[in-house]
């Protein structure tokens, strides 16, 4: 997410507001899931916690692919 944001800045592309909101949301989400993961490695006996990490990891992956799709779309639109 942040790589895409840096790419935008370096290529001097106009970054739309939704993109900035998406990047910041993605960053917060990754941070939260990391904290939950660390917390659950400490208390791995909590089965609900393990499920929470699994669900967050899946959502994280989906967000990553959405990010990748947006990057490709952005690259294609800027090259033309």
Q: What is the pLDDT of residues 32-72, one digit of tens each?
A: 777 777 766 666 556 666 677 777 777 777 777 777 777 77
pTM score: 0.38
- pLDDT greater at residue 63 or residue 9: 63
Answer whether residue 52 is part of any domain.
Answer: yes
Answer whether residue 47 is part of any domain.
Answer: yes
CB 15 within 8 A of CB 40: no
Answer whether residue 1 is part of any domain.
Answer: no
Host domain of residue 46: 23-79
Domain total for the chain?
1
- Over its C-alpha atoms, the chain yields an Rg (Å, rounded) of 16
Burial state string for 10-22 with b = 16 or more CB within 10 A and e = fewer than 16: eeeeeeeeebeeb
Answer whether residue 5 is part of any domain.
Answer: no
> Is residue 23's pLDDT more than 70?
no
Nearest CA among 35, 65, 66 for reference residue 52: 35
């Amino acid at each position: 997410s942040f790589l895409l944001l840096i790419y935008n800045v370096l290529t001097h592309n106009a970054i739309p507001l939704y993109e900035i909101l998406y990047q910041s949301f993605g960053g917060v989400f990754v941070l939260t899931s990391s904290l939950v993961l660390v917390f659950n490695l400490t208390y791995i006996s909590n089965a609900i916690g393990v499920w929470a990490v699994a669900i967050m990891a899946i959502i994280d992956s989906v967000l990553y692919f959405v990010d990748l799709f947006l990057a490709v779309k952005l690259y294609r639109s800027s090259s033309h």
